[in-house]
């Protein structure tokens, strides 16, 4: 039995709140009103404005949170779906979103670009702090095209990529940085959004269960748990389309291999995601799941940049054999699982499934970096071999 952080017997009904979709509609409506859509489609945020509409599933997010397993890495989320563990980490987020994951500017360089407080003076009465709700109001009321574009970019970062609550303060320096939009786009917003999402996904589900039980006792209160996640939460849904074959077939529409991969998917309007079907699906031992996402040859340079010199996010795959398999997806899943096992990516939980496991345990010693041995082919060569296997069919699904 998999060692869930919250035992299967304690799973409870619930759904996740993500506020970014409403914020994104506000931005898109304003940009369309002022003729800014084509301009933003030329920016590093273009994929969000080019992607097909995604029907966000609050129930899917909850089911994923229930299936967390032990993970010692702060920048990875480990889940157990079907009969296999799987990972959502920097690599997966990066391939799905295609955002900047660079190390970012130095403090000295950043200060050089934070000299203008014009927007703060003009739209926020020169206040030292600005709440997200006030930034939203300023955007809605702005009639100056250039200022609306800059306010919209800041609101996109704070509301969509970070999904802050309206009553919280935004990062005031973003309103200074955006005066130089070219510099603004070089900031590692992908890393900022991903880190926020990872922190949010570490929620203690035992605590969420206790809150649910308390509210359940009060007559007329909610019949399911409701809690928020932050960062760009829809990235997990895009990842599910990529990594879970049955989920993609039933609930997604594939638009071919594109980068970033969020452009490859949209929701199946004829088959809305059913929360009643998700739990049984994820329990099926026959469920085919990718333990981790493999970069395509065209994605390798971007993918390698995500490591910033750390151990490979997708270790060397070893020798590839040309054997017939029922489907290409199954072959990729098999290889990914073997690599994950050899690299010791997933750590087993306690023997007793009912024993709670801390969400963020501190290991006694850092885990060793995993690098391919000298006699292994390099990543590019191995991926090219795997790509030949994948060429047996046009798309994964």
DSSP letter string over 260-291?
Answer: SGGGGEEE-TTSPPPHHHHHHHHH-TT--B-S
Taking only the tens place, the pLDDT of each residue in 284-308 is 999 999 999 989 999 999 998 888 7
**Widest CA span of the chain, in angstroms?**
68
Average pLDDT for residues 149-176, to the nearest whole number?
97
Mean pLDDT of the chain: 87
- Between strands 76-81 and 14-17, the pairing is unpaired
pTM of the complete model: 0.86
Average pLDDT for residues 11-33, to the nearest whole number?
97
Q: What angle do CA 273, 277, 283 make, to 5 degrees?
A: 125
Average pLDDT for residues 105-125, to the nearest whole number?
95
* Residue 241 confidence (pLDDT): 98
* Residue 380 confidence (pLDDT): 55
Bridge partners of 81, per DSSP, are 84
Closest CA to 120 of 130, 109, 105: 130
CB 292 within 8 A of CB 334: no
pLDDT exceeds cutoff 80 at 114: yes
Please count the CA atoms within 13 angstroms of the CA of 163 that sit on its side-chain side.
Answer: 22
* Residue 375 confidence (pLDDT): 42
pLDDT exceeds cutoff 70 at 386: no
- CA 188, CA 17: separation in Å to the nearest integer? 25
* Residue 1 confidence (pLDDT): 61
- CA 295, CA 303: separation in Å to the nearest integer? 7
* Residue 383 confidence (pLDDT): 53
- CA 229, CA 319: separation in Å to the nearest integer? 40
Neighbours of 46 (CB within 10 A): 16
- Between strands 252-254 and 84-89, the pairing is unpaired
Retrieve residue 324's tokens: 């017939």
More confident residue, 29 or 351: 29
Closest CA to 37 of 49, 26, 47, 25: 49
Cα Rg, the chain, nearest whole Å: 22
* Residue 332 confidence (pLDDT): 87
Taking only the tens place, the pLDDT of each residue in 212-240 is 999 888 877 788 999 999 999 999 999 99
- CA 387, CA 397: separation in Å to the nearest integer? 15
User: CA torsion 265→269→273→277, rounded to 10°?
Assistant: -120
* Residue 312 confidence (pLDDT): 81
Cis upstream peptide for 260 (omega within 30°)? yes
Taking only the tens place, the pLDDT of each residue in 71-91 is 999 999 999 999 999 999 999
C-alpha distances in angstroms, 292 versus 238, 273, 289?
13, 23, 9
CB 86 within 8 A of CB 183: no
- CA 90, CA 95: separation in Å to the nearest integer? 8
Bridge partners of 80, per DSSP, are 85
- CA 356, CA 349: separation in Å to the nearest integer? 10
Rounded to the nearest 5°, which phi and psi values hold at 49?
A: -95, -10
pLDDT exceeds cutoff 70 at 388: no
* Residue 160 confidence (pLDDT): 98
């Amino acid at each position: 039995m998999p060692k869930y952080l919250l035992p299967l017997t304690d799973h409870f009904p619930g759904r996740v709140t993500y506020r970014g979709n409403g914020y994104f509609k506000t931005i898109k409506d304003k940009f369309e009103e002022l003729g800014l859509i084509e301009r933003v489609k030329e920016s590093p945020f273009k994929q969000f404005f080019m992607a097909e509409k995604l029907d966000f599933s609050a129930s899917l997010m909850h089911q994923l949170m229930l299936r967390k397993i032990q993970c010692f890495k702060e920048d990875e989320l480990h889940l157990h779906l079907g009969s296999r563990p799987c990972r959502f980490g920097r690599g997966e987020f990066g391939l799905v979103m295609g955002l900047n994951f660079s190390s970012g500017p130095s403090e000295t360089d950043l200060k050089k670009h934070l000299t203008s407080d014009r927007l703060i003076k003009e739209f926020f009465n020169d206040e030292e702090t600005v709440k997200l709700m006030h930034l939203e109001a300023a955007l809605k009321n702005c009639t100056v095209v250039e200022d609306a574009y800059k306010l919209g970019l800041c609101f996109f970062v704070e509301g969509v990529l970070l999904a802050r609550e309206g009553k919280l303060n935004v990062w005031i320096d973003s309103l200074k940085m955006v005066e130089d939009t070219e510099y603004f786009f070089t900031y590692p917003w992908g890393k900022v959004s991903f880190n926020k999402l990872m922190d949010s996904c570490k929620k203690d589900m035992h605590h969420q269960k206790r809150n649910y039980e308390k509210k359940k006792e009060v007559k007329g209160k909610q019949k399911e748990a409701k809690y928020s996640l932050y960062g760009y939460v829809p990235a997990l849904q895009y990842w599910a389309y990529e990594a879970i074959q049955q989920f993609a077939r039933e609930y997604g529409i594939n638009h071919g291999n594109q980068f970033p991969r969020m452009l490859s998917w949209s929701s199946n309007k004829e088959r809305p995601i059913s929360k009643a079907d998700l739990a049984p699906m994820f329990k099926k031992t026959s469920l085919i799941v990718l333990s981790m996402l493999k970069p395509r040859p065209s994605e390798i340079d971007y993918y390698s940049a995500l490591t910033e010199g750390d151990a490979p996010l997708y270790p060397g795959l070893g020798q590839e054999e040309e054997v017939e398999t029922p489907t290409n997806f199954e072959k990729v899943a098999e290889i990914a699982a073997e690599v994950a096992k050899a690299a010791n990516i997933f750590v087993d939980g306690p023997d007793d499934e009912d024993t709670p496991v801390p969400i963020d345990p501190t290991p006694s010693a850092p885990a060793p970096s995993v690098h391919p041995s000298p006699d292994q082919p390099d990543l590019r060569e191995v991926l090219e071999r795997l790509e030949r296997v994948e060429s047996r069919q046009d798309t994964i699904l």
